[in-house]
Structure 1
Amino acid sequence: MKKILTSIASLCVFAACSQEKDTTQPKPTPTEVKSSSILLADPTIFYDKGTYYLYGTTSGDIPNGEGFQVYTSSDLKDWKGPVGKQNGLAFKKGDAFGDKGFWAPQILSYQNKFYMIYTANENIAVATSESPLGPFKNDSKEPIIKTGNQIDPFIFIDEDGKKYLYHVRLTNGNRIFVAEINDDFKSIKPETLKECISGTMLWENTQNVSWPVTEGPTVLKHNGLYYMIYSANDFRNIDYAVGYATSKSPFGPWEKATDSPIISRQNTKQNGIGHGDVFWDQDNKMHYVLHTHYSESAVSPRKAGVISIEFKDGKIVADPASFQFLNVK
């Protein structure tokens, strides 16, 4: 019985991890994939000195076990790439922790150095570079958290300088946790680890599965209130969507917004839309970069897109009419 239960649990974990390639849906043939579409899942956009840098989980022809590609744009419309310094890759397998499953990177600038926080081998690690184009490297071959399995990292630096690692732990569902992270971004303060959110709302588990999924956290602070934007449902579910929660503390308790989901197939007409990151453009307007299913009949390769969002009367509001896919010109 124990072996049977272990097998079932393993299958649940496998099915719940949002970055795994879909194997149950029909795939488009190579001729059906538009060459201009940027095929990235779990995307993030980093803006630096007039240039937008786009990263994510590889969702096209290049295996995601090779590392992270990067695309660039000066206006969010005309994209070039992949242009990473290692054959299009900003990060290459072998240059830091991990040898498979490179998912959901975040890029940040801190003390004159660029950091990439990412998932590999269902654990979280960090690499650094002198350029957003890479190469991102780290001599350490150790993950940030050395026990359990965790994915989807996001580092938030508060006004007082304290740093927090929001991430997803694979434990009875994909659950979002937080812990203070040390200044070198290489380890957490384990005594501060705390659960934030799990899938308990109807919109978060539309298929009523036993392994509910909440993932892809991004945390912001606005007018003294903390906002967590996150995605829910299995990524293969057409109801994969984006909601948010608020708190007076980076540790919670988190109150889920009653107007969630704010980005979904209901208001964008895109299946499986979610799991991205917030960025501000050169005019200080806020956007959310995310992925969608490839089509109505195929989940992968997932496509990257952008939608405008804003704070309004204490809420986060999305503009569905602003949604656009990202393409290489």
Structure 2
Amino acid sequence: MIMKKYFSLFTLFFVFACCSQEKEINKKTSSKASPILLADPTIFFDNGIYYLYGTTTGETPLNGNGFMVYTSSDLKKWNGPSVAQNGLALKKGEAFGTQGFWAPQVLKYNNKFYMIYTADENIAIASSNSPLGPFVNESKAPMFGTGKQIDPFVFIDTDGKKYLYHVRLTNGNRIFAAELKEDLSGIKEETLKECISGILPWENTQNVSWPVTEGPTVLKHNGLYYMIYSANDFRNPDYAVGYATAKSPFGPWEKASDSPIISKKNVGINGAGHGDVFYDKNGKMKYVLHTHNSNSGVSPRKTGIIDIAFEGTKIKADDKTFILLEE
């Protein structure tokens, strides 16, 4: 009887221990970090918080319905998408666009937040009182009435003039610039000028008839203008990032001889490119970008960050700093 009692107690203890261990394993499994799957990403920093937006490429209910937003205070732990509108900072139906929500940029101007983005292969701008959104375009109208334009980037110069850099689908993906109207509602048509097209070997490694240069980011350093851009089709393993310099916002642009500065050689994953420059809370310059999902598959694309810095008149990337972002 005593042996049976001890045996029963031992059995209960063993079952309890196994259950506890199973719960712990399940807990660890369920809390495992997942990669963030945003292409064409951008990071906006405001009041100690980093806001991450991009093109949704994963098979999720939010795919194609607008732009998700993730937040972080340290660039390591990311939260979201879990804010209003089911995680969407911009939601289809509240702004221009029915499909193809690509390549957003967020900026603050006159105490308001603006998101300029691509939808239906055209460019539109929406506004909000918060970086979390909702970003709304009440007119639901694009900036341009004709043609196909993608990948917008707004640059505000030190003299206050504003410029829209973007890609026009004209015998290839070509990067153009134009001065923006003061209210950001459109461009001054007479200022439109082509900046860059894909004519160098690294920009068209597959020798296609439709060369691609896209994803421009423009910044100014020591009086010199820098355009950071990506080249090749995004599905090409050689998709990569280079830069060009100019003495004016309209060029002429001189492509850097050391391009590409970010590629599969830096990050160890194919398809590295199409991102945006941002500065962390310590003033360190970084570039957020996407890569292929793996070296054997393109989508859904992953999001990563790498440190970049000016060295004289050149821009260099620090290979050792590259990380993929996780939620």
TM-score, structure 1 as length reference:
0.88
SS in 1 for 2:85: coil
In the other structure, the counterpart of 1:134 is 133
Query: Structure 2, unaligned stretches of length 5 or more?
Result: 1-31
- Does the 8 Å CA contact 1:64/1:100 hold for their aligned counterparts? no
1:79-130 CA distances to partner (integer Å, 9 max, x unpaired)?
Answer: 0011342110000001111111000000000011000000000000000000
Partners of 1:295 and 1:74 lie apart in 2 by 28
- 1:239 paired with 2:274, answer no
1:37 to 7, 29, 35: 35
Partners of 2:139 and 2:104 lie apart in 1 by 17
Partners of 1:219 and 1:177 lie apart in 2 by 12
In the other structure, the counterpart of 1:60 is 58
SS in 2 for 1:54: strand
In the other structure, the counterpart of 2:196 is 197
Distance 1:240 1:83, change over 3 A: same
- 1:262 paired with 2:261, answer yes
1:61 CA displacement:
1.9
SS in 1 for 2:278: strand
SS in 1 for 2:181: coil
In the other structure, the counterpart of 1:22 is none
In the other structure, the counterpart of 2:5 is none
Choose 169-178 or 261-270, whichever is displaced more.
Answer: 261-270
- Does the 8 Å CA contact 1:38/1:303 hold for their aligned counterparts? yes
User: Greater RCO between the two (CA within 8 Å, min separation 6)?
Assistant: 1
In the other structure, the counterpart of 1:318 is 317
TM-score, structure 2 as length reference:
0.89
In the other structure, the counterpart of 1:144 is 143
Partners of 1:273 and 1:197 lie apart in 2 by 20
Partners of 1:211 and 1:138 lie apart in 2 by 32
Letter in 2 for 1:320: D
- 1:157 paired with 2:191, answer no
Higher Rg: 2
Letter in 1 for 2:38: L
In the other structure, the counterpart of 1:223 is 222
SS in 2 for 1:42: strand
- Aligned residue pairs: how many? 295
In the other structure, the counterpart of 1:294 is 293
Partners of 1:257 and 1:55 lie apart in 2 by 28
In the other structure, the counterpart of 1:51 is 49
1:266 CA displacement:
1.8
In the other structure, the counterpart of 1:88 is 87
Runs of 4+ more than 6 Å apart: none
1:35 CA displacement:
5.9
SS in 2 for 1:87: helix
Choose 263-272 or 316-325, whichever is displaced more.
Answer: 263-272
In the other structure, the counterpart of 2:282 is 283
In the other structure, the counterpart of 1:72 is 71
Partners of 1:89 and 1:118 lie apart in 2 by 14
Letter in 2 for 1:221: K
SS in 2 for 1:80: coil
1:184 CA displacement:
1.5
- Does the 8 Å CA contact 1:167/1:178 hold for their aligned counterparts? yes
1:157 CA displacement:
0.3
Identity of aligned residues (%): 73
Query: Structure 1, unaligned stretches of length 5 or more?
Result: 1-33
Partners of 2:82 and 2:72 lie apart in 1 by 11
